[in-house]
Chain A
Amino acid sequence: MRRLRHLAVGLALAAAAPSVSAQTPDEPAHAYVLEATLDPEAHVVTGSARIRWTNESALPADELWLHLYLNAFESDETVFMRESGGALRGDRFRGTGGIELEELRLAAGGDLLAQAEDEVIRGDRTQLRVPLPESVPPGGTVDLVARFVSRLPPVFARSGYHESFHMVAQWFPKLARREPDGTWATFPYHGHGEFYADFARYDLTVTTPSRFEVGATGAMVEEQRGEGTVRRRFVADRVHDTAFTAWDFFREHVFEADGVRVRVLYPPGYEAALARHVAVTRAGLERFGALFGEYPYPVLTVVVPPRGATGAAGMEYPTLFVTAGGWMPIPGLHAGPIEATTAHELAHQWFQGMIATNEVEWPMLDEGLTQWATGELLGSMVGRRRSALDWGGLEIDYFQLMRWASLGGGPPTPPPGSPAHAFSDRELGRTVYARTAVVLETVRRVWGPDRFERALGTYAREQRFRHPRPEHLFDAFDRTYWPGFSERVLAPALLEGADADMRMVSLATRRRGEEWVAEVEAQRVGAVPVPTSVELRDEAGERVRVRWPGDARRLRTTHAGERRVVAARLDPDGHVLLDPRVIDDAERVRPEGGGGLFSRILFAAQQLLGWAGP
């Protein structure tokens, strides 16, 4: 890049000709016309781009910022590699990849590469600062032309190849987003958080050998078969990214759901898994459409990657997502890779796809909300209490699993509302994904589903095709619940990492004349004020509940009755998921059980020892 800069410096100085224009009403503010030719043997994409950018901020723009994210894989010195240690989601990176910009100029003429700064952070060429020869005034547009070569890495962290399977993502020069106040929201390619861009029209033409099937962002509007090659054109409006996949072994299944043409590309032999992917996608389009507003695009492509390409799995792109899982679904395992990943990536079509938050700055606004939506969809399909696992009587609730993952021990993590790079891989899953979902589900269960769905639905509908921040989410909840709700509940839980830990302190019973008196004491340790109740059970199994308001730190209650109270428990319906420990929520007058447990453990030990015995 530096060599090119020296060579082109003279041209750049000469190219200070007028190059910006005002946006006409019928043109999108931002548009990409991309041509990509995939060489599947060399795993190289040769591309060109025409990019239109409109300055939607209040200030003139003297420079542009481009993201060249594939360069994250060109050395061990990049921000991505230093932060991740060359490993992401259990995959270790071996190989190299990168994008070389061969040409970048104004459409009207005038090279831009010569002045461009490509190593904004030492060792990292994932951002390119491009000074403009002439400022772009507010409302003005600039048209760019680029030629580039993208060398795909062995599939890792969303992009790359495995044998002839290719997932071509984060692969072209893409403009960062300029905020209304004139600052560029630009960042290097981090291991976590890759999206934040303007909505644009993407017109992508992909050329591959003719045996390859291709799936891409947008609807296919044109297909031309040439000699040994096929050229397919995909167009998508109001999306913020484009990606494509190509493989010569893809099978295709097409169906329609909720007015959307869904195309599933899957490996041969995956027919049983396909049925689950289809069922979840069908249910999801309907459920998410009802909750967050209907899916607005005519097409959706679901990509099931082959086994060796798990580095591409579990990733969302506008109108296309890559799911996960093998060919054999495990009955009853809803939280497994097939159902949960499909539900999760589909939910991303809303949270980040349409409600385009800054994923690096506020990852909880897409991953956290998406994780809640995942549990919501699985719960709506099979029932909440068995939404993670349903194995012949062993039932696990997806949100209980999230509670356990996020609050059940382990070292403390930054609050969910922290930026993506504040977290390790593991912490991100525990906190941004799971804990945010737990906070939201606690609100839903404690104050009821109707109000919750109204609040989240309001946020989703109002912020569609916008770039909201946490305050927009909080505002929607404040309007739906009551003023100050977010300050009391959401902000402490999401921005400060507070929980709603509560515990039973004591249960004592005594005789008073003809009746039994029970005295119960419970304590709230966590800072999130969540109302709940305590349930008392007498020796005949009769139950009575006492309310415990959210603002009372301590509960002391007395109950008198004909029969003795033998047990008391907090939160009997399991609503307060923000309580890190459920097992300290109960108290009994005398211990029960134990005998059956002993018999079963002894029997198991006898059987295991029997295999080593005579």
Chain B
Amino acid sequence: MKRLRRAALVTFLVYVTLTLLGLVPTLPLAGSLGAIEAPETPGGGALLDVIDETAPALGAGTTAGLVLAFVLWLLSPLLQMAWLGALASHRTAGEALSFGASRYARAVVVSLWMTIPLAAVVLALVVPPAVGHLALASSPNERVHDLVVLALLVPGAFLLLVWCAWHDMARAALASGHDRPRDAVRASLGRLGAPAVLSYAGWTGLAALLAVGGHALGAWLDGSGGFEALLALVLLQVLALSRVACRGAWLGAALDRVEP
């Protein structure tokens, strides 16, 4: 948490970046939905009509969101390295961004190295369920078939979780002294243990919980009145910032584990 306090400004900037990008699909979609004066019809009649009415805006919003997500994905190594740089040592926002830019290419190479274990993870995700499916294909008990296939997905899903933690730790290693991507990947593998995976799972789970909680809170508050609308906006943005902070806390924990 000490690291997170140190990098509070960069963490906030990450939140601001997500917010600004999020506004691009939000503004037209909210405008088009808000313009509909849907009456409250028992049994959801108006809701169904609203789906029809907003389908074009929703489609455009989804496309815009996907394009932005792609742009963000391309920017992600820079932002993550800047964030890790700020978490690793005292840096101003400008210095952190400069650090991020200087590590961009190496962060990408780290991801490329990580595609090797990722291939194994994908195999673990695909092969056991496929074998289970083939073994039980002629079984008349579909419930047993489905549950076995589902259970056989669990090891692969667990390995994916481990891989995600490893990937973040490899980039953290890059920010904490390992200049060569291959060394960063190796060094982080050496520090990858149950505590690291549990820490990743804990922070990521908390972030997901905040996201789900935010959606539930938004639905509950409704926000059709002036004060309620403001309250909804403030509370949801606090949750959005908290979610970013969870991610920052994990990256800080990753640095703790990989620092020499």
A447 close to B (CB within 8 Å): no
For B138, the chain A residues whose CB sits under 8 A away are: 163
Q: Is the Cβ of B53 less than 8 Å from the Cβ of A583?
A: yes
Complex Cα distance A405/B25, Å? Answer: 28
Q: Is the Cβ of A394 less than 8 Å from the Cβ of B223?
A: no
A227 close to B (CB within 8 Å): no
Q: Is the Cβ of B48 less than 8 Å from the Cβ of A400?
A: yes
Q: Is the Cβ of A612 less than 8 Å from the Cβ of B76?
A: yes
A593 close to B (CB within 8 Å): yes
For A595, the chain B residues whose CB sits under 8 A away are: 223-224, 226, 228-230, 232-233
Q: Is the Cβ of A586 less than 8 Å from the Cβ of B233?
A: no
Q: Is the Cβ of B80 less than 8 Å from the Cβ of A614?
A: yes
Complex Cα distance A593/B46, Å? Answer: 16
Q: Is the Cβ of A306 less than 8 Å from the Cβ of B140?
A: yes
A268 close to B (CB within 8 Å): yes
Give the contact stretch, choosing among A60-68, A282-290, A355-363, A596-604. A596-604
Q: Which of A572, A583, A599, A613 is within 8 Å of B38, CB to CB? A: A583
Query: Which residue from chain B places its CB closest to the CB of A613 in the assembled complex?
Result: B72
Complex Cα distance A25/B229, Å? Answer: 79
A608 close to B (CB within 8 Å): yes
A607-B37 CB under 8 A given contacts A397-B45, A404-B45, A599-B236: no
Q: Which of A328, A401, A602, A604 is within 8 Å of B48, CB to CB? A: A401
For A573, the chain B residues whose CB sits under 8 A away are: 42
B22 close to A (CB within 8 Å): yes
Q: Is the Cβ of B244 less than 8 Å from the Cβ of A249?
A: no
B47 close to A (CB within 8 Å): yes
Q: Is the Cβ of A606 less than 8 Å from the Cβ of B22?
A: yes
For B69, the chain A residues whose CB sits under 8 A away are: 608-609, 611-612
Complex Cα distance A84/B120, Å? Answer: 45
Q: Is the Cβ of B19 less than 8 Å from the Cβ of A606?
A: yes
Q: Is the Cβ of B240 less than 8 Å from the Cβ of A603?
A: yes
Which interface residue of A267, A400, A577, A597 has the most chain B CB atoms within 10 A? A597
User: How many Å from the CB of B38 to the closest CB on chain A?
Assistant: 5
Complex Cα distance A403/B36, Å? Answer: 19
Complex Cα distance A569/B46, Å? Answer: 12
Q: Is the Cβ of B44 less than 8 Å from the Cβ of A614?
A: no
For B75, the chain A residues whose CB sits under 8 A away are: 614
Q: Which of B30, B140, B223 is within 8 Å of A267, CB to CB? A: B140
User: How many Å from the CB of B136 to the closest CB on chain A?
Assistant: 11
A269-B76 CB under 8 A given contacts A582-B39, A607-B214: no
User: How many Å from the CB of A485 to the closest CB on chain B?
Assistant: 25
B119 close to A (CB within 8 Å): no
Interface residues on B, range: 35 or more
Query: Which residue from chain A places its CB closest to the CB of B230 in the assembled complex?
Result: A595
Q: Is the Cβ of B226 less than 8 Å from the Cβ of A591?
A: no
Complex Cα distance A17/B45, Å? Answer: 67
Complex Cα distance A613/B68, Å? Answer: 10
A contacts with B: majority SS: mixed
Complex Cα distance A401/B47, Å? Answer: 10
Complex Cα distance A611/B22, Å? Answer: 12
Complex Cα distance A3/B70, Å? Answer: 68
Complex Cα distance A454/B102, Å? Answer: 81
For A226, the chain B residues whose CB sits under 8 A away are: none
Q: Is the Cβ of A596 less than 8 Å from the Cβ of B228?
A: yes
Q: Is the Cβ of A599 less than 8 Å from the Cβ of B49?
A: no
A450 close to B (CB within 8 Å): no
B contacts with A: majority SS: helix
A598-B140 CB under 8 A given contacts A603-B214, A604-B215: no
Q: Is the Cβ of A606 less than 8 Å from the Cβ of B146?
A: no
Complex Cα distance A107/B61, Å? Answer: 72
A396-B30 CB under 8 A given contacts A269-B142, A599-B218, A612-B72: no
The residues in A between 16 and 38 inclusive whose CB is less than 8 angstroms from any CB of B are none
A583-B46 CB under 8 A given contacts A595-B232, A609-B22: yes
Q: Is the Cβ of A267 less than 8 Å from the Cβ of B142?
A: yes
Q: Is the Cβ of A594 less than 8 Å from the Cβ of B34?
A: yes
Complex Cα distance A394/B47, Å? Answer: 10
The residues in B between 49 and 105 inclusive whose CB is less than 8 angstroms from any CB of A are 49-50, 52-53, 65, 68-70, 72-73, 75-77, 79-80, 83
In the complex, how many residues of chain A place their beta carbon closer than 8 angstroms to a beta carbon of chain B? 64
Q: Is the Cβ of B14 less than 8 Å from the Cβ of A613?
A: yes
Q: Is the Cβ of A605 less than 8 Å from the Cβ of B49?
A: no
For B18, the chain A residues whose CB sits under 8 A away are: 606, 609-610, 613
A92 close to B (CB within 8 Å): no
Query: Which residue from chain B places its CB closest to the CB of A607 in the assembled complex?
Result: B211
Contact with B along A398-416 (1 / 0, CB 8 A): 0111011000110000000
Q: Is the Cβ of A574 less than 8 Å from the Cβ of B142?
A: no
Complex Cα distance A138/B10, Å? Answer: 95
The residues in B between 215 and 247 inclusive whose CB is less than 8 angstroms from any CB of A are 215, 218-219, 221-226, 228-230, 232-233, 236-237, 239-240, 243-244, 247
Q: Is the Cβ of A397 less than 8 Å from the Cβ of B36?
A: no
Complex Cα distance A514/B49, Å? Answer: 39
For A249, the chain B residues whose CB sits under 8 A away are: 140
User: How many Å from the CB of A503 to the closest CB on chain B?
Assistant: 12
Complex Cα distance A533/B215, Å? Answer: 36
Complex Cα distance A598/B224, Å? Answer: 10
Q: Is the Cβ of B72 less than 8 Å from the Cβ of A569?
A: no
A306-B76 CB under 8 A given contacts A404-B45, A600-B218: no
User: How many Å from the CB of B245 to the closest CB on chain A?
Assistant: 12
Which interface residue of A389, A582, A585 has the most chain B CB atoms within 10 A? A582
Q: Which of A327, A328, A597, A612 is within 8 Å of B34, CB to CB? A: A597
For A421, the chain B residues whose CB sits under 8 A away are: none
User: How many Å from the CB of A245 to the closest CB on chain B?
Assistant: 14
For A268, the chain B residues whose CB sits under 8 A away are: 140-141, 143
The residues in A between 540 and 594 inclusive whose CB is less than 8 angstroms from any CB of B are 569, 572-574, 577, 581-583, 585-588, 591-594
Q: Which of A400, A577, A602, A614 is within 8 Å of B23, CB to CB? A: A602
Q: Which 7 A-B pairs have the closest CB atoms?
A: A596-B223, A595-B229, A397-B43, A269-B143, A594-B34, A605-B22, A614-B80
Interface residues of B (CB under 8 A from A): 14, 17-19, 21-23, 25-26, 29-30, 33-39, 41-50, 52-53, 65, 68-70, 72-73, 75-77, 79-80, 83, 138, 140-144, 146, 207, 211, 214-215, 218-219, 221-226, 228-230, 232-233, 236-237, 239-240, 243-244, 247
Question: Told that A386-B43, A595-B229, A610-B247 touch, could you supply 8 new A-B pairs with CB distance under 8 A?
Answer: A396-B43, A396-B48, A397-B42, A403-B45, A598-B233, A612-B76, A614-B14, A614-B80
Q: List 12 A-B contacts (CB under 8 A).
A: A327-B146, A403-B48, A574-B41, A574-B43, A592-B224, A593-B222, A600-B223, A605-B23, A610-B244, A613-B14, A614-B75, A614-B79
